[in-house]
Amino acid sequence: MSDVPPVIVIDDETGSRESMAIAIEKAGLGVRTFDDAREALKYLHENPGVRLAVCDLRMPGMDGLGFLNEVRANGHELAVVLVTGYGSIESAVEAMQVGADDYLTKPVDLYELRKRVTNLLENRELKEEVTNLRQMLDKRYGFESIIGRSEAMEHLFEQMKMVAPTRSSVLIVGESGTGKELVANAVHVNSPRVDERFLAINCGAIPHDILESELFGHERGSFTGAVARKIGKFELAHRGTLFLDEISELSPALQVKLLRVLEERQVMRVGGSELINVDFRLIAATNRLLEKWVEEERFREDLYYRLKVVTLDIPPLRDREGDVALLSEHYLKILCEEHEKPPMALSAQALDALARHGWPGNVRQLKNVLESIVIFHPGGEIEADQLPPEIREATMISGATAPVQPLVGRPRGMDEIERQAILETLQRTKGHRAAAAKMLGIGLRTLQRKLKDYKGQGYYEDS
């Protein structure tokens, strides 16, 4: 613990200086006194742990305003209370204008001095805690926390930075495991609503009859088991952000009610009669093709267009060239610390094997694979043969280039060569059509059309 007292008192009048110091000490605070402001500045420079200064306004040499200006100019992080013997409004106004945190008039009410000093220190500690929490949030949920340097991710980051400061609803689309909630939280943390709540609810994990109560709340006695009033997520997210994951799983009835809330910005609890005004930003997410669900009349068209004011499309891991290495290094470090294991690193062959894998489960799957490796690995370098079997097998297929078959017997036509290339590539990607299309340099729809033709010809069967 530091021996530096949190408070200094500066006054050229001995009696005033000592009485203020004694009053502050009665609050359980350490105090150091000075009769010269320049000596106090020298002490501050050598002892940055000082939290607050009480300084007389009128002193020979450097006065209180000069001291305050030097404190602010040198970036000292401490509160300053100026004491004036004149009690004039002009002196008080001048003190506050140049950056004083508070002021007192002589003769000083020592009880009031102790109260003001204690409050200022408590408020300062609270602000520092908020700042530290904000930095922790920024580190965990800020844009920098989303690992990725691929072109696809850089494009996503640019979109997020433009969207975050706005009030617009956001629809996040992406496959399972791509990190949709992480993106939603980053948008919230970088928005004007950062000081308010971020509430997340998974619409697919809660039965429909319970989900309505979770969203809207209910009044006591509104249904069997409603023994007390419950405040719903719409109300709790007032002035903050509400994240609805798996929005496609909302029942038709709840889709209608959500649309009404978004249009009217009012909710009524289940069993209630009062309309309650709500102001929240909605961020929704889905791994479904909502356009298709709209066509199939499984999702309301008007709600769909109300949700997708802004759409953020998170690319799957297989389309993020170079990011597997970054993510692997990041998660290995974290997982080794969590499981108290010695540091580990991937060999070039192991990293290449991970990069070649299709990752149908995306970032979540990669993290789970790495966690399994960390648990069973003694530490040091991780070789390719120590990877899970599904990763090794994919590498053996994709890592070795299939030898070109000599043209023995009848020459093959281009259609046959193309078919062989497509089917072999699909085998290498373990059935991942998007990954195969990318490797082949063709569109996904083109690949799907050809596979449909091959299926009709008996060359291909869906796995």
**Residue given tokens 């010269």 in the structure block:** 36
397 band by pLDDT with thresholds 50, 70 and 90: very low
Residue carrying the six token digits 């597997």: 324
Q: Quick check: 191 and 141 in contact, CB under 8 A?
A: no
Please check whether the two domains, 7-133 and 143-315, share a CATH topology: yes
pLDDT value of residue 405 = 42
Tell me how far apart the alpha carbons of residues 18 and 34 are, in angstroms, rounded to a whole number. Answer: 10
Dist CA 72 CA 427 (whole Å) = 67
Q: Does the pLDDT of residue 200 top 90, yes or no? A: yes
Q: What is the pLDDT of residues 218-250, one digit of tens each?
A: 988 888 877 888 889 999 999 999 999 999 999
Q: What is the assigned CATH class of domain 318-399?
A: mainly alpha
pLDDT digits (tens, 9 = 90+) for 361-375: 999 999 999 999 999
Instruction: List the structure tokens of 38.
Output: 């320049």
DSSP element (H, E) containing 200: strand 198-202
Q: What is the band of 136 on the pLDDT scale with cuts at 50, 70, 90?
A: low
Domain positions in the chain are: 7-133, 143-315, 318-399, 414-457
Q: Which residues of 203-219 are buried (b: 16+ CB within 10 A; e: fewer)?
A: beebeeeebbbbbbbbb
| Token code pair at residue 6 | 């949190």
In the block, residue with structure tokens 């204690």: 118
pLDDT higher than threshold 50 for residue 409:
no
Element (H, E) at 305: helix 301-307
Q: Does domain 414-457 sit in CATH 1.10.10.60?
A: yes
Separation of alpha carbons 259 and 240, rounded Å:
19
By residue count, the chain amounts to 463
Beta carbons within 10 angstroms of residue 417's beta carbon:
11
Q: What angle do CA 101, 102, 107 make, to 5 degrees?
A: 150
Mean pLDDT (whole number) for 72-76: 81
Q: Does domain 143-315 have CATH number 3.30.70.870?
A: no
pLDDT of residue 91: 63
CATH number, span 7-133:
3.40.50.2300
